[in-house]
Structure 1
Amino acid sequence: MYTVGNVYVIAAVAVVGGALFGFDISSMSAIISTRPYLCYFNQGPLYLDTDGKCSGPSADVQGGITAAMPGGSWLGALVSGYLSDILGRKKAIQIGSIIWCIGSILVCASNGIAMLIVGRIINGFSVGICSAQVPVYITEIAPPSKRGRLVGCQQWAITWGIMIMFYISYGCSYVNGTAAFRIPWGLQMIPAIFLFTAMLFLPESPRWLAKKDRWEEAQHVLAITHAKGDVNSPFVRRELSEIREAVEFERANSDVTYFELLSPKMINRTHIGVFTQIWSQCTGMNVMMYYITYIFTMAGLGDSVLLPSSIQYIINVIMTIPALLFIDRWGRRPTLLVGAALMMTWLFANAGLLAVYSRKPRPGEFSSDAESMSITGPPAKAVIACTYLFVASYAPTWGPVSWIYPPELYPLRVRGKAVALATSSNWAFNFALAYFVPPAFANIKWKVYIIFGVFCASMFLHVFFFFPETAQKRLEEVEYIFDDTTPGSIPYLGTPAWKTHVDTHTGKLERGEMDAEEKFGHGEQMEHGSPSPVRSSEPPKV
């Protein structure tokens, strides 16, 4: 069977798994405020005097419906580590696409809230598998100088999925009856079918193949993805040598378990990976996506809320592009720090505007309990502007980096399970926050923005002191940052995070731009024509 070797095509296909998450976000966001949904899943009064308007599910129940998907994703992400290590990154993603179709059928055919929740849990299980293993798969195939850009496509695919499904749902909102939500929930199976089929033509991860002693296949994959099929390319030989050393070292140790990720040597990088995903949720971005119609309804947009809400999805798509182009030059640390500072600014601004200018809504003014404030005039426009600016700040920063960064932190032996654990924390907090926000808006109102603003301030400090730079470093080279024992390093933490920088050395090697002195002057020389480097005691630049 023909195998695709272009890393951009490989990434473009694989990240469709991320688009599944985006489809879920916007299908729920666009649908929860429509009359067919509110009336079919109605739990409250039917306002016959206002053209049959329904109150829909209660705030608590709507939070549960929304949170069902990330709840299933949490379990799927944890399981994906074992699935990926046993069957391979590629097959794990294909299994996820099959499960998504099953969940979508149940959601589309829902005859009540219970069936809707079950379908969303199954959909979430699929998203958990794909969201954990797609970044691992791309990370293990992509060259270091393009790794950030290619893994970042996961976030871009999410933004495209959000936007496409939102407009499908918006168009279907004009359809009468339950078809208004059944059509978009049924159409979301199409990308999963494409993902399963297209993955048949993609290669398996060379690092996973090497781990299974399939060395010829691993060398072939490296050659077709990095050297146009030339198995004797210096870069292919170098990569294969690095992978061989890593595999041989790891085999000297016992099989990895989740408990090993809590050992003194691993706990630091484990906590960094986990908190990268936790903080990405604590920005409040995905909650904004789920419940944006609530926010804009409170800002006075009323029945025309869907179209203005869609503007943030367009901003999300466009503003992710700079990260894809420049994330490997910017580095991970500066991107995360700038994003946290900007988002904190817009969240506190919204909190101040709503605290000063909002009022309690009149009885029957809004359909949902979560729509607990009403703000009009210039302050309402400022709330909408700050919401757009918040999205524009998240899109090129925490959005893509939260997927790029964790797979770069871990050695091959633990990468599958470690990234699964980090991603499961993402979904655990996604579940908690999706459930928390509707009741929070109903009870503490504008103070919700204060909570997320404080989270952004905390993550800024956390990144500055603990998150090292990994941009343009070979995966095996990142090991040294955490294992560094030279003077000035910190026991069990390695090189201080604020002393690490983007490594341009590796990019030169890939492009063949190194001169002879650079090739052999960094503590490495080739012995007897072997591709295995002989390392000197001089540490690599971090």
Structure 2
Amino acid sequence: MTKDTHRNVMGNGLRAVLPPDQKHWWQVPHLIKLNCLIGGLLLFSSTVGYDSSLMTGLQSLSSWVDFMETPSGAWLGFISAIQSLGSMLGLPIQAWGANKFGRKPCVLVGYFFLFLGVGIQVGAHSPAMFIASRFFIGIAGGWFQAAIILLAEIAYPTHRSRLTAMYHCQYYIGSTLSAWLVFGCRNINSMWAWKVPSLCQIVFPLLALPVVVLCPESPRWMISQDRHEEARSFLVKYHAGGDEAAPLVAFQMDEITRSIIMERESKNSTSWLDMLRTKGNRHRLFISLTLGTFAQWNGIGIVSYYLTLILKTIGITSVTQQTLINGFLQVWNLVMAVVGSMLVDVAGRRTLFLLSTCIMLVSYIIITGLSATFAHSHVSSVGTAVIPFLFLYYGGYDIAFTPLVMAYPAEIWPFALRAKGVALTSVSTYLALLFNQFVNPIALDSIAWKYYIIYICLLLVIMGTIYFTYPETRGYSLEEIAVVFDGDDASMTAVAELRKEAESNKKEIEHVESSPKGI
């Protein structure tokens, strides 16, 4: 994205206070420091991606299948779902802790549960120990969700959209490493075939740990705790390069402070019930719940968690072939997810969501037709033809649902409810995932390709819901987005005035600079 494009997608108020000679971030020392810290926070999505996709790979390893006593059907669904149950338990507590103690401490709490879970998993001597380990790893994933909140609230204003979109894309870095590591360990003739990938779940968190220790707390959280000088010091250091008089610092301090004060003075506070008390919040709640559900009920729950079962239905039964396809699929996911994250400010959120759903719908129709044909003919070439459309389907999913499933809720909620809003999206995702993990293996065993027809119908529902209820948020700061949902309510008056004031100041400066000298 060019420097000019950055300005074109920003609101007028923010545009007025940006440095006139804005350079690329890699040419600005203080932005390099900030984005390196944010790069460390992105690794927590890789951690979740590795943990979640590990189960897909393990199902291809005979040593793991034997150790777990050949799980199938509902029991396999339960083993896969236990991690989601752990995350659902951790998320509400994390949302409370993020507002009470800050975003950063919540990330650190996740380390305790992760190391506990990985230790039990690697040392497991029974299926029960393995299942318990997945539960604790799930709890860790719930606490790690605070990372995207922290990222969204410390990012430089013109970088926030793409960086928050990039967060969930890193999921595929973790899933790619998991897939290829399982592929590399597939021929180890011992339980270390699955214990080595299990142990490597700590790799990304260990890489991120120094960054978490050095990373500052959210300036928005500090202002909410009346620690204004600390918040201002952060903005001066990381957003203005030490310039105390930078207009951007004054603009952000005023915008954030006024927004938080008005949240306190309005009927909204920080309880879960406040999500129902205004029309704008109910709209946000609807989006948070449906987006989390749609992220799993668009068919991804089958092809991600039960890829092995799908490949078997089309005649691909070799462990090498299955793990190899899974490995290449994860690389493809990463590439397409990054492409999608780069387009969030160019194409906009609505366009990406609608395009994504259309691609998935067409792909699923073709996959269903080919799978049905193979089920009757058993012609191997027909089964193999499913594979490129699986890649096409994933490409459609990745350009919108991967980058925006966390980024969109993180930006639409006001500060006081942001942690809870993101947590609700994650909880709805896990609830939909739980359903998938229990039902999908049973349905695939019973009716095979016919089960895909349900997801074709669901994709049509998803497309209609997005078209009629998901608004565009491109070009707004975190505080300004409230006007999209709340209209011109009194709670947004100060922010609107601030934007007008910034535009007015800019015009005065331009007028003085353009006036002849001596006048």
Alignment TM class, shorter chain as reference: 0.7 to 0.9
Distance 2:417 2:32 in 1: 26
Instruction: Pick the aligned partner of 2:436 from 429, 433, 437.
Output: 433
Q: Does 1:391 align with 2:397?
A: no
Asked if 1:29 is matched to 2:56, the reply is: yes
CA distance in 2, matches of 1:5, 1:71: 38
Instruction: Please state how far the C-alpha of 1:376 moved relative to its aligned partner.
Output: 3.7
Contact 1:353–1:379 (CA<8 Å) still a contact in 2? yes
Q: CA deviation at 1:286?
A: 4.4
Alpha-carbon deviation of 1:473? 0.4
1:240, 1:130 → 2: CA distance?
A: 27
Name which of 178, 183, 186 aligns with 2:196.
183
CA pair 519-344 structure 1, distance change in 2 beyond 3 A: farther
Tell me which of 89, 94, 97 is aligned to 1:80.
Answer: 94
Match of residue 453 from structure 1 = 456
Q: CA deviation at 1:289?
A: 1.8
Partner of 1:91: 105
Give unpaired runs (5+ residues) of structure 2. 1-29, 493-498, 512-519
- Between the aligned partners of 1:380 and 1:287, the Cα distance in structure 2 is 17
The answer on whether the counterparts of 1:144 and 1:473 sit within 8 Å (CA) in structure 2 is: no
RMSD between aligned alpha carbons? Answer: 2.5
Secondary structure (helix, strand or coil) at the match of 2:124 reads: coil
Is it true that 1:16 corresponds to 2:43 in the alignment? Answer: yes
Output one character per residue of 1:496-515: Cα deviation in whole Å (capped at 9) or x when no partner: xxxxxxxxxx9xx9xx9x99
Distance 1:460 1:188 in 2: 36
Preserved CA contact (<8 Å) 1:97 1:192:
yes
**1:331 counterpart = 2:344:** no
CA distance, structure 2, for counterparts of residue 333 and residue 23 of structure 1: 29
CA distance in 2, matches of 1:149, 1:77: 24
Say if 2:284 is the partner of 1:294: no
Residue 403 of structure 1 corresponds to which residue in structure 2? 406
Matches within 5 A, 1:169-318: 169-253=182-266, 255-265=269-279, 266-303=281-318, 304-318=321-335
Matches of 2:278 and 2:53, distance apart in 1: 41
Rounded Cα–Cα distance in structure 1 between residues aligned with 2:244 and 2:303: 48
CA contact (8 A) 1:4 1:202 kept: no
- Please state how far the C-alpha of 1:10 moved relative to its aligned partner: 2.4
- The 2-side partners of 1:4 and 1:105 are apart by 37
Deviation at 1:9, TM superposition (A): 1.4
Q: TM-score, normalised by structure 1?
A: 0.82
* Structure 1 unaligned spans of 5+: 43-55, 360-373, 487-493, 495-505, 522-542
Q: Does 1:145 align with 2:174?
A: no
CA shift for structure 1 position 455 = 1.8
Could you tell me which of 361, 365, 381 is aligned with 1:344? 361
1:497-512 to structure 2, matched below 5 A, reads: none
Q: 1:177 is matched by which residue type in structure 2?
A: S
Deviation at 1:127, TM superposition (A): 0.9
Show the counterpart of 1:63: 77
Superposition pairs of residues 351-500 of structure 1, within 5 angstroms: 351-359=368-376, 375-484=378-487
Does the Cα contact within 8 Å between 1:283 and 1:455 map onto a contact in 2?
Answer: yes
Residue 390 of structure 2: SS of its match in structure 1? helix
Q: Which amino acid aligns with 2:459?
A: C
Verify the 8 A CA contact 1:94 1:195 in the aligned structure 2.
no
Cα pair distance change 1:220/1:26, threshold 3 Å: same
Secondary structure, aligned partner of 2:104: helix
- Shift, 1:135, TM fit: 2.0
Compared CA separation, residues 286 and 157, structure 1 to 2 (3 A): farther
Residue 92 of structure 1, CA deviation: 0.6
Contact 1:98 1:196 (8 Å CA) reproduced: no
Residues 144 and 328 of structure 1, relative CA distance in 2, 3 Å threshold: farther
Q: Counterpart of 1:328 in 2: which secondary structure?
A: coil
Taking a change above 3 Å as real, the CA distance of residues 184 and 112 of structure 1, as seen in their structure-2 partners, is same
Aligned length: 469
The answer to whether the Cα contact below 8 Å between 1:277 and 1:402 also exists between their aligned partners in 2 is yes
Call closer, same or farther: CA 1:448–1:6 in 2, change over 3 Å.
farther
Check whether the contact 1:261–1:267 (CA below 8 A) recurs between aligned residues. Answer: yes
CA distance in 2, matches of 1:90, 1:286: 31
Aligned mate of 2:338, from 309, 321, 324: 321
